[in-house]
């Protein structure tokens, strides 16, 4: 192969590569994984176009399909169009003009609220491209569960424990474990949602000596992978006190009932005697 042929071949190869690169289809790049943030913080929802191009003059839409109106941010005619934006995002969403020149359409959301959780869609109209990213908003810390004795269970010799924890989002699950880590059967927990959208959860369980000297309350939120737990020690002596105290309580109840009957009898007799005196005195 002579030099001229080699040069022609190289030129053809370079020309083919240029065609391939010039015909490369643009695509949007974001985050395949959910983005987690705590209330009050700022967050960046990623979205940029590749190959890189200046998109300042393009139309870009950020939206949440579950809202009405659904637009979170709308960039048209080189400016932010606020008239179609959902009011809950007023003053809290923005794009960077300098970054738009680099093809970066990432959305900045400030002062994140619990209500901001959801799936956001970035739409690049020039090439009819879109991508979505999920935003998870969860409190920074939930309260450590508080476990306390709240009563005597049935049958005698058992006790009722209550576990309570607050500051959760989304709604958590509650489980009880005995000394060996085995789950203790219990009913569904009670859940209250506060004005701040955070959940307070409480659960009760009845345990006896077979569950061991310690019982653990575990509160877990699978979606945010948060777990908080607290254990309480319930000694054998306490169970014995409860069992022994039952006959005493029963005896006191019988004595009280007897006293009430005697008092009623005395009052009845007194009234009868009083009526009899008034009748004889007439």
State which fold the 146-238 domain adopts.
Immunoglobulin-like (2.60.40)
pTM: 0.59
Could you give the 3-state DSSP secondary structure of residue 202? strand
Residue 58 pLDDT class (50, 70, 90 cuts)? very high
- Residue 133's nearest CA partner among 26, 25, 224, 28 is 28
Look at residue 280 in the predicted model and tell me its pLDDT. 61
Straight-line distance from the first to the last Cα atom of the chain, in angstroms, rounded to the nearest whole number: 153
In the chain, CATH 2.60.40.10 sits at: 26-137, 146-238
Judge: domain 26-137, CATH 3.10.20.30.
no
**Model confidence over 172-184: pLDDT tens digits?**
999 999 988 899 9
Q: Mean of the per-residue pLDDT values for the chain?
A: 82
**Model confidence over 22-33: pLDDT tens digits?**
446 889 999 989
- Residue 64's nearest CA partner among 152, 141, 11, 137 is 137
């Amino acid at each position: 192969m002579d030099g001229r042929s080699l040069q022609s071949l190289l030129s053809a190869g370079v020309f083919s590569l240029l065609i391939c690169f010039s015909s490369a289809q643009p695509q949007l790049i974001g985050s395949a994984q959910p983005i987690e943030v705590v209330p009050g913080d700022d967050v960046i929802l990623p979205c940029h176009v590749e190959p890189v191009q200046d998109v300042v003059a393009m139309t870009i839409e950020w939206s949440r399909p579950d809202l009405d109106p659904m637009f979170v941010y709308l960039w048209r005619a080189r400016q932010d169009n606020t008239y179609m934006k959902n009011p809950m995002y007023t003053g809290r969403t923005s794009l960077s003009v300098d970054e738009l020149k680099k093809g970066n359409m990432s959305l900045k959301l400030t002062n994140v609220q619990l209500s901001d959780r959801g799936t956001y869609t970035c739409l690049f109209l020039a090439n009819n491209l879109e991508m979505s990213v999920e935003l998870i908003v969860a409190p920074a810390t939930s309260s450590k569960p508080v476990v306390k004795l709240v009563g005597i269970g049935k049958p005698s010799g058992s006790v009722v424990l209550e576990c309570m924890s607050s500051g959760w989002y989304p709604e958590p699950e509650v489980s009880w474990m005995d000394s060996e880590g085995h789950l203790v059967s219990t009913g569904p927990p009670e859940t209250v949602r506060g004005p701040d959208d955070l959940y307070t959860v409480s659960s009760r369980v009845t345990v006896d000596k077979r569950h061991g000297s310690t019982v653990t309350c575990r509160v877990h939120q699978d979606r945010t992978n948060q777990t908080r737990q607290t254990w309480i020690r319930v000694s054998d002596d306490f169970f014995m006190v409860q069992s022994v105290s039952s006959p005493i309580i029963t005896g006191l109840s019988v004595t009280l009932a007897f006293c009430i009957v005697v008092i009623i009898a005395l009052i009845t007799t007194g009234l009868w005697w009083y009526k009899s005196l008034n009748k004889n005195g007439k």
